[in-house]
Structure 1
């Protein structure tokens, strides 16, 4: 306290000047009142940071700031803060709890399990914590089992599947799907999904298997030119928000022979209509294979799908085989798209090595490694984020890294690019242009998980290769909450 007075940082004085009550109390109240708005969560985080500056010996300040990091999906920063809180107070149950959920979000399940066991040890009567520990134990056992039996390439989920012998139920009232995709089938599928109906399981299998074959035969980085009289729309994360996806099409036009679309990953998870989005995007790919493009995101991976809802949704709406077939199709997706030799579109961002070029991306054999893992070129393309500082920094997510404006400039200059276009992060305005215009983030899930209050955005590009940013608001959807099919572990925070 003496040091604080000498520095003019007396908490009472700061309380009178800057906020009502102590910084920690104000930030906590602000956070509780603001879970529906990212900007207010960021403000709460700022107050916790001020509280730490005033008194860095208080574990509760770090533990509470860790919670704001979790809500902002900065899981790497949350782990760091929770760890500091535990160092200051080894009995801080909330800090162990928050580090557990952050480790789980980073797919570090064994570390998460250690913390959950500590929570149960310190709070033996907490039934909710015990249930979550048991669920985490199941995940760890399952992952260990899958690793133990892994011997070369596993058999496809399509093995033994005879589509010709599958019968569509006689009471199915939708349009029939033949050997080729039709606009009539897509229009009917959209209507069915809007009305809470499903398509026949046979058609699900047909769409996923055919799309997988198309993706597999595409290069790791498709290269697209925009001819006169045509245009392309680039969309970011849609995260299972099916009705907001339809809003994009209603506002901007549906895919056609003259209107190409590129969806830049994270079609699934979190939102509760992920199967509907994936099937619709795959159907459009089959209808316009040379004019409709999908990049893989970090949520088109098994680990994320098991935690954030897509696996559970597939099982609830169809069956386990559906998820496995989708998983195989995700592994076949391209990792980037080059538009007009000017814009590299990839989900996450740039690399830990300055020497990486577009040729390295072209040569990357994505079929040899189904899942991105914790390191390597594929992981970086799916997970990295920009930062304002030059150089590179540790990832706020706990996976990958962050890259500064100098990294982006050098990469663009070396490869003759105007800019990179990426997604992967919520932007309150729907998009953000940073790094001196060379890094554009576009996010297409407005009011993300029904709580964030952000806009959605998409980018239109014509034959002149000028970028036209478009912003839109979320639209109403049926009363099904986000994360309805997610692992119960995600409710820990």
Structure 2
């Protein structure tokens, strides 16, 4: 399986009214389509896209070719390209229900819920007996109504923190609770008064991780305490964090882990747990898709509380409310705890730094670079990140952009952010006296990719992504002299009773 770096839909360059397709070309195109279908069934999506494209070039008049390529693009998260293909199919056949279906799916993935609702409504009108389309229409309508409700009450909650609604003293730990408990100690204040406070230690972390492995949860009091402490620490961080690795230490940079807790813990088992001489940077997308996101984020936050200088976290495009509504994290937190806790996570995600610079030479960000030239590190430091990301601008592009092989810039295959070429990477690094860009955001067959003449590195740490991609995971070990080496790893077993997207089950068949 090749890496998921899809090419844009081909511009056939011949107006359909002028192109004459012979019988031989029609037959060849149909054979290419059938071969592509075989690759698609075996999850070889890039190969399928290549052959669908060849079929389209041979015969650009068949709406099904565009529809088939659209679902392959959706599986590679190239939702912007999928939207273009669905539009082309509808241009050829305005009554093609499957094209509306594909467009609705792409719009849903791009969080354009109202547009998706319109297309699903069209599908149901044209194919009223399609039970799956009716179900998706209902789910889509539910999201639209909920968003409208949340927007209506947003004004009333403006400026108020959910922290004010949390009372830890009322969360009593029951006598029959048999899980990890935070230790306590007495603290003397400047006025001479004393207070008993809870703190994080290695014993609690060890017991919590084992409890998570056993598919058990910690008490809500301790979960809230962990999140609150992490929020406090991140709020004090700048938007761009400078990291200096001690001479006797190593830093490991990990990419997306996406709720795959057992693979996430396997990284520590292979490479060592966070310590004073072994630091970690997790580069966004800790949650969603995988169904153990809560276990991952609580573990990361607990390590941040234990020793803030040994572990660093950057915000990804999935540490956002709208993504969490669609891809599972909101549903998971509500199922395991409460909506109040999800709101606290949302505020905490707003506080996550957006980028890191290691040893003054390695720029680390979840997505990529920018639609404008001469962006400086100070420009990133000045970003007011304490909000949901906007749909454009520096913050959006940091979280969403992707590299491409050709020079220059172009629309992103995801429909958000941009695609940037090797010249853009070279210019940004030179302008900021940096050596290399490290980013994540894209699944890769080998767990990593080296692009742009070695200047753009992609690291992805969720092997067998969503239990179906059969890719390796990888991480990057960095030494104090800014040298680095890759390490790959394979997926490990996880409980079979919990599937990917378990808490977003209404979207399981959307192709996400």
Q: TM-score range by the shorter chain?
A: over 0.9
Alignment match, 1:261: 280
Alignment match, 1:366: 385
| Residues 119-161 of structure 1: per-residue CA shift (max 9 Å, x gap) | 0110112222112112111211221222233227352222232
SS of residue matched to 1:440: strand
**What is the correspondence of 1:151-300 to structure 2 with a 5 Å cutoff?**
151=155, 153-178=158-183, 179-300=198-319
Distance 1:397 1:284 in 2: 33
Alignment match, 1:18: none
* Structure 2 contact 374–431 (Cα < 8 Å) conserved: no
Instruction: State the 1:356 CA deviation.
Output: 1.1
**What is the correspondence of 1:411-426 to structure 2 with a 5 Å cutoff?**
411-426=428-443
Distance 2:480 2:394 in 1: 31
Instruction: State the 1:2 CA deviation.
Output: 8.8
Distance 2:141 2:159 in 1: 24
SS of residue matched to 1:349: coil
Distance 2:318 2:356 in 1: 18
**What is the correspondence of 1:281-320 to structure 2 with a 5 Å cutoff?**
281-320=300-339
Alignment match, 2:109: 105
Instruction: State the 1:11 CA deviation.
Output: 4.8
Alignment match, 1:95: 99
Alignment match, 2:193: none
Distance 2:124 2:135 in 1: 10
| Residues 192-229 of structure 1: per-residue CA shift (max 9 Å, x gap) | 00001100010110000110110000111110111211
* Structure 1 contact 136–489 (Cα < 8 Å) conserved: no
* Structure 2 contact 367–397 (Cα < 8 Å) conserved: yes
Distance 1:300 1:92 in 2: 36
* Structure 2 contact 180–218 (Cα < 8 Å) conserved: no
* Structure 1 contact 177–203 (Cα < 8 Å) conserved: yes
Distance 2:289 2:230 in 1: 23
| Residues 58-87 of structure 1: per-residue CA shift (max 9 Å, x gap) | 100000000100111100000000110011
Instruction: State the 1:5 CA deviation.
Output: 5.3
* Structure 1 contact 405–436 (Cα < 8 Å) conserved: yes
* Structure 1 contact 101–490 (Cα < 8 Å) conserved: no
Instruction: State the 1:317 CA deviation.
Output: 1.1
Distance 2:208 2:320 in 1: 25
Distance 1:424 1:405 in 2: 18
Instruction: State the 1:346 CA deviation.
Output: 0.5
Instruction: State the 1:29 CA deviation.
Output: 2.9
Distance 1:415 1:117 in 2: 50
* Structure 1 contact 67–98 (Cα < 8 Å) conserved: yes
Q: Structure 1 residues 336 and 2 mapped into 2: Cα distance closer, same or farther (>3 Å)?
A: closer
SS of residue matched to 1:390: coil
So what's the TM-score if we normalise by structure 2? Answer: 0.91
Distance 1:408 1:2 in 2: 40
Distance 1:461 1:395 in 2: 30
Distance 2:291 2:139 in 1: 21
The ranges of structure 1 where at least 4 consecutive aligned residues each deviate by more than 4 angstroms after the TM superposition are 1-6
Alignment match, 1:492: 510
So what's the TM-score if we normalise by structure 1? Answer: 0.94
Alignment match, 1:42: 46
* Structure 1 contact 306–487 (Cα < 8 Å) conserved: no
Task: Identify which range, 21-30 or 178-187, moves more after superposition.
Answer: 21-30
Distance 2:87 2:249 in 1: 53
Q: 1:53 aligns with which of 32, 54, 57?
A: 57
**What is the correspondence of 1:287-436 to structure 2 with a 5 Å cutoff?**
287-367=306-386, 370-436=387-453
Distance 1:308 1:199 in 2: 23
Distance 1:29 1:339 in 2: 44
Q: Structure 1 residues 108 and 2 mapped into 2: Cα distance closer, same or farther (>3 Å)?
A: closer
**What is the correspondence of 1:443-458 to structure 2 with a 5 Å cutoff?**
443-458=460-475
Instruction: State the 1:383 CA deviation.
Output: 0.3
* Structure 1 contact 342–417 (Cα < 8 Å) conserved: yes
Distance 1:3 1:176 in 2: 74
Query: Aligned pair count?
Result: 478
SS of residue matched to 2:296: helix
Distance 2:53 2:464 in 1: 26
Q: Structure 1 residues 304 and 487 mapped into 2: Cα distance closer, same or farther (>3 Å)?
A: farther
* Structure 2 contact 26–59 (Cα < 8 Å) conserved: no
List runs of 5+ in structure 1 lacking aligned partners.
16-20
Distance 1:160 1:42 in 2: 48
Q: Structure 1 residues 431 and 236 mapped into 2: Cα distance closer, same or farther (>3 Å)?
A: same
List runs of 5+ in structure 2 lacking aligned partners.
1-17, 184-197
Distance 2:25 2:148 in 1: 52
